[in-house]
Amino acid sequence: MYCIYIITNKYNDVFYVGMTNNLARRVFEHKEKLIKGFSNKYNLNKLVYYEVADNPETAIFREKQIKNWHREWKINQINKTN
């Protein structure tokens, strides 16, 4: 199982789109700031969206699609599922 996910900060003003084969572990890593880089810099630790893919190729393709979305499209997707 592979997951494409979006995390944000407590103000919901910055989004990060990622892909993982273990969503619980990956969210833990973000929350504990074990990942250096963008998510750590902007204090992104709140999971707001995820979807499941059957294989890594599909997950990578979908991650790239979502990363290219406008901010409004991401917000609409998040609101639609929450």
Number of domains in the chain: 1
pLDDT digits (tens, 9 = 90+) for 10-60: 999 999 999 999 999 999 999 999 989 999 999 999 999 999 999 999 999
Q: What is the dihedral of CA 71, 75, 77, 82, to 10 degrees?
A: 160
Range of the domain at 34: 2-81
**Residue 24 CB: number of other CB atoms within 10 A?**
10
CATH no. for residue 20? 3.40.1440.10
Distance of CA 41 to the CA centre of its chain: 15
Distance, in Å, from the CA atom of 74 to the CA atom of 66, rounded to the nearest integer, reads 7
Can you give the pTM of this predicted structure? 0.94
Main-chain dihedrals φ then ψ at residue 7, nearest 5 degrees: -120, 160
pLDDT digits (tens, 9 = 90+) for 34-45: 989 999 999 999
Residue matched to tokens 């901010």: 71
